Structure 1
């Protein structure tokens, strides 16, 4: 095994120097600077920074890609690659490639997403536990994971063990969900997709599983729906579910009312934004890799956002092309799209993606070397070792890539075309058709230079609908592919580009602009000269209001001679928007059926899938959601997700809504008498440059008590960084007083004990901890407890810092979608805030705060 070791840099920068330099790089865009610094700047495990601005990162990536190019004919130079990726202008490696390429401090993969599991042959406990371990092993190396549960036998089926009958799908959904939450580190949660076929007899249980508050909170869920079911819904017919699914000789079979189950799916999606839908026959029939299903490329599930359907042990790396940068003379009458430059860059983007596969193979070799050198027994390491061997085989054999886009909304606005209009949909279709043809042409040319993917067989692919469309669009390309083959088994996707779009300073992915203009407030001293006070809050602080423009909206203003430094009134802002090409084209404006039709048309030219969400106002009916889902199937979408404004905040806890007085009677959710032993999460965070740690005692995965203190202080808590789980045990000290000890396993498997958590910080901390623990034990909702903590008026600065830390630790357990009460967005001062993955997210301006 050849293992490439990247040389470690020596020069380091302070956090403040890097922030100021990156702030200048992003032209005072504070959010973009912080996102780059926190997620992508090269740093070691001690937090030392080795890159000052994104230019340093782009040079690192260019250097590594050029080293691969040098192995092949007609190589691109480091300078040529740097010119394409610098400033996030044209080609942007996404996520894991951006963070991991040339990173000597991280033993991880460059893949953004993986699918694991099997093709449906085994539902033994051994097989289920193997998938669980594989999921954890991938997530610890930053990967998002998907797997399908259709192979698990339905509830009540006979089994040959002491249980006698199967428990069904839901307990295993919870197991995999909990594993996702356990492996999360430093405030970043893993990402998991669980799917099941609608043909499975337990599919309704699967669909309902997330409606119970606190259940399956660590996974997205999607239902694989076949054409027969959709046709049964349209015709009002019955539908037969089977186990094994679609079996000619099923062990379990039952006939159901297709419309009744369909209405359940639609209701749940309307109520809670899940489940998503995967139109499975469309996915399989259109899939080029499924032409090789008998060779191990049978698609079984998707990645967490649904844009990459994959076979077991395959993975994908993502790259985005910034569409806005190909508009010449943007926001003028002379604006036009430079298709020639675009075609050239699509070809290079596909080439870079193929280079990244070689870099990924080097990364996997490093992972395997690390596993081999670990001191554990071979039988302990066997699952992880075999997992990465399987992933390496798929990456080397199929060489799958994920070329996508960002800035679709800004591209159309810059051309003066309204997003969602007939003209907009037609132009977007032409752009994506161009990407498909030029990326495939590039892959064919790479096959001529470097060799085709090893199992390429034109005969297998000749009837595939996607390949047939390529043949019709460009017969020369098709016959070149017959002669030389293709370098990559599948090439294209449209992924969400959240942090990528922050750094390109454009709209995200295929989506329209969220809001072109919003207001922010900054605190001011009313006694300063020439200060303007626009707002005084309830505690007497003074604030100045100022307008924030979406970057490309501001560019439109500047092109048209409109002063962007003026403090506009809301009426003036509304007038500006009406003048702009963004008018009627925000995420709340776009016609929903038009967006679904656009997705279906573009899907014809994307060989993987598209991640897109249909955003709906709160007052839409369930019938509309059903209509959108049906339309998505009819126009050829591979999947669809809807989000109704505010739907996440109304999660059901039973089949009927409870009145407030009934809920008050049921607040006591835990035993008041503390059990002697509790499982515990360990949560680390930083406040004012101090390192803190929280021990959260859990019952049924819900917080029951909290201990928090300083780390590495003389009187603080010493605990290794790798410890994230353990036990809190209530004992008695020599005087008979209660003592709370924490135990965790070290690498040899023995228990290591921290005695007396309550004595690791001063009595004042402990008293507040007891108060908060008491509210937890009596079942007060966690978001209310966070609000209570935030409202505490404390004089001691150290106590206030501790208060912030406890609040931050507990926010991790607030159910996603829960509305934040009484808080305002720091960015636009809106009070329309919800919790998402422990962070407060503003639904009006999109800003997020995790502190």
Structure 2
């Protein structure tokens, strides 16, 4: 049975008029299964398998698939990256393409790094360039207008390389609150820059138009500004671009320059990717150990589902269709990890938990890759396979250039009634700002069952959970409180440890926010950044509680009980 919270989200965003959740899952399953016809197979059995996969809440695909499947010209992918060329024509051609993608329910990532810096020469007019940040404001306004009529609010990622002359303007642009609200910001950080920071050396900024040195700066000045802004309002994040490109499976096609809006999916220009997530909270045998047989069956069916999406998808641009089908990237991830740990009586902030995160993702990627290989033997490899890294690794076939990505799963984890992505619980009871400002409250059912099973669910405990969202001021066994620690109570080093453990065995990127208490200091942010880089993470984001006027999640439900939908 779906929770009130799940039903509120489904009704607001996903269900057609008079449609039930059961009918939604059947609609999606039937539509995605039709790809089997392309290969001469009867889709009926596949549709039943897909329906069971979703209706059990063992797996859910990204939101555009749930929203659009069954419609005419159904666009099913969540993630797109578009290139921006250094010309007025190129800038506005990309803006047009982004509008079409937003209208279809997709999100877009852009690198503004090719654009010449502010004050640079514009030969066609003899004037000076206004720089990349100015065009970000134009893109932001267009997104705001388009999303008012779109099926899903448009979202963007803006990337600027750390060696761009306008990098300080980019880093500090959100000092003025209430600007670029339709953008997430990340800086493309290079190994050269991090080395200069570590060694306290000068760093060179390069004019992208001329490829000439613009000026030399102190690397730590830039790094400290990054830390200052992240501490102040959570942006920009860091996108370790050289680390990302070390794992590029198709280097002949070019290099990554931007990820999608939540930064977990690096893509080549014009590529798209469809994502889906396995609910780990449903993968247990009697709440005592992980059911690897069930997990394996779920992985294999989910890979087939996501691969089918590529063939049945209606792409908003022909360039996107061509590039996507050249590599056939999919991104299978996880949600419910924090719930899994609670069911297994394991603290999130422990070596045991970190090792289990790594073990799970190693298993999922290995099984997903094996399934991709088996599909390729029947349906063929992705067209760029011969020039990819896979033949050198001993593979004779592979259907998908990548198979795993860990997304934030904000909406689909609400539907699946589990914790999001690889995050710890933000709170044991939470008020969530969603659906154009509406508030939804919920108490974590896994936590309540955990306490009840141990005879610890007293009225005082329930009251504390409702008021504060934590058990820090309640007398309970230390081992129980350790298992039920929330995001702000878990040391940042454990957040980064899980991020690194998951990334080690994930083809694409991992969405992970290191949530910090309000009293966290800038040195804490600096430590997270450096630790994440040295651990081989592809990116990292921090957020200090209440550092923005409005935030999606707040602790407890009592004060806002009237807001429950």
Q: Provide the TM-score with structure 2 as the length reference.
A: 0.90
Alignment of 1:772-783 (within 5 A): none
Mapped to 1, the partners of 2:430 and 2:25 lie a distance apart of: 32
What's 2:260 paired with?
303
1:55, 1:183 → 2: CA distance? Answer: 31
Q: Of 423, 426, 434, which aligns to 1:511?
A: 423
**Deviation digits for residues 567-595 of structure 1 (CA, Å, limit 9, x no counterpart):** 94439963468664763531122221122
Deviations 1:677-721, CA, capped at 9 Å, x for gaps:
xxxxxxxxxxxxxxxxxxxxxxxxxxxxxxxxxxxxxxxxxxxxx
Counting only pairs closer than 5 Å after superposition, residues 452-471 of structure 1 correspond to structure 2 as 452-457=381-386, 460-461=389-390
Give the distance between the partners of 2:451 and 2:409, measured in 1 at CA: 25
1 CA distance for matches of 2:206 and 2:296?
A: 47
Picking from 242, 262, 272, the partner of 1:315 is 272
| Local SS of the residue matching 1:487 | coil
Instruction: For 1:259-274, list aligned pairs within 5 A.
Output: 259-274=220-235
TM-score w.r.t. structure 1 length?
0.61
The residue aligned with 1:94 is: 62
Q: What is the RMSD computed on CA atoms of the aligned residues? A: 2.9
Deviations 1:718-738 (CA, angstroms, capped at 9, x unpaired): xxxxxxxxxxxxxxxxxxxxx
Equivalent residue in structure 2 for 1:36, among 10, 20, 37: 10
- 3-state SS, counterpart of residue 640 of structure 1: strand
Note if 1:496 corresponds to 2:408. yes
Equivalents in 2 of 1:78, 1:321: separation in Å?
18
- Other structure's SS at 2:322 match: helix
Partner of 1:78: 47
Aligned to 1:554: 448
Distance, in Å, in 1 between the alignment partners of 2:507 and 2:98 is: 26
Which digits, 9 at most, give the CA deviation of each residue in 1:272-299, with x for residues without a partner? 111111011000112223x232xxx531
Q: Does 1:234 align with 2:198?
A: yes
SS at match of 1:255: strand
SS of the residue corresponding to residue 428 of structure 1 reads helix
Question: SS of 2:214's equivalent?
Answer: strand
8 Å CA contact 1:452–1:487 kept in 2: the answer is: yes
> Partner of 1:347 in structure 2?
300
Q: Distance in 1 between matches of 2:282 and 2:90?
A: 48
Structure 1 position 126 matched with structure 2 position 89: yes
Q: How far, CA to CA, are the matches of 2:110 and 2:404 in structure 1?
A: 21
**1:551, 1:298 → 2: CA distance?**
44
Displacement of 1:205 in angstroms is: 1.1
Q: Which of the numbers 416, 419, 438 marks the counterpart of 2:367?
A: 438
* Alpha-carbon separation, structure 1, partners of 2:477 and 2:153: 37
Q: Quote the Cα distance in structure 1 between the aligned partners of 2:388 and 2:264.
A: 27
SS across alignment from 1:199? coil
Rg larger for: 1
1:342, CA displacement in angstroms?
A: 1.0
Distance 2:491 2:178 in 1: 34
Aligned to 1:56: 23
Question: Bigger relative contact order, structure 1 or 2, given CA contacts below 8 A and separation 6+?
Answer: 2
Whether the 8 Å contact between 2:62 and 2:275 is mirrored in structure 1 is yes
Does 177-186 or 75-84 show the bigger shift? Answer: 75-84
The SS at the match of 2:542 is: strand
Q: CA deviation at 1:559?
A: 4.2
Q: Which residue of the partner structure matches residue 21 of structure 1?
A: none
> How many positions carry a matched residue from both structures?
548
| 8 A Cα contact 1:416 1:581, kept in partner | no
Match of 2:347 among 418, 425, 441: 418
> What is the aligned partner in structure 2 of residue 797 from structure 1?
none
Give distance in 2, aligned partners of 1:818 and 1:447: 41
Paired with 2:477 and 2:138, the residues of 1 have a C-alpha distance of 48
Residue 293 of structure 2 corresponds to residue 327 of structure 1:
no
Provide the secondary structure at the position in 2 that maps to 1:224.
strand
Residue 470 of structure 1: aligned partner: none
Superposition deviation, residue 170 in structure 1: 1.9
Which secondary structure state, in structure 2, belongs to the residue aligned with residue 222 of structure 1?
Answer: strand
Please list the CA deviations of residues 405-450 of structure 1 after superposition, one character each: whole Å capped at 9, or x if unmatched. Answer: 1101011111121112000000111000001100110110010010
Secondary structure, counterpart of 1:449 in structure 2:
helix
SS at match of 1:489: coil
Q: Tell me, what secondary structure is at the counterpart of 1:555?
A: helix
Q: Does 1:114 align with 2:80?
A: yes
For structure 2, list consecutive stretches of 5 or more residues without a partner in the other structure.
Answer: 433-440
Provide the rounded CA distance (Å) in 1 between the counterparts of 2:354 and 2:69. 36
**SS, match of residue 648 in structure 1:** coil
Q: Unpaired segments of 5 or more residues in structure 1?
A: 1-24, 43-48, 368-387, 464-477, 521-546, 650-815, 831-844
Whole-angstrom distance in 2 between the partners of 1:431 and 1:251: 46
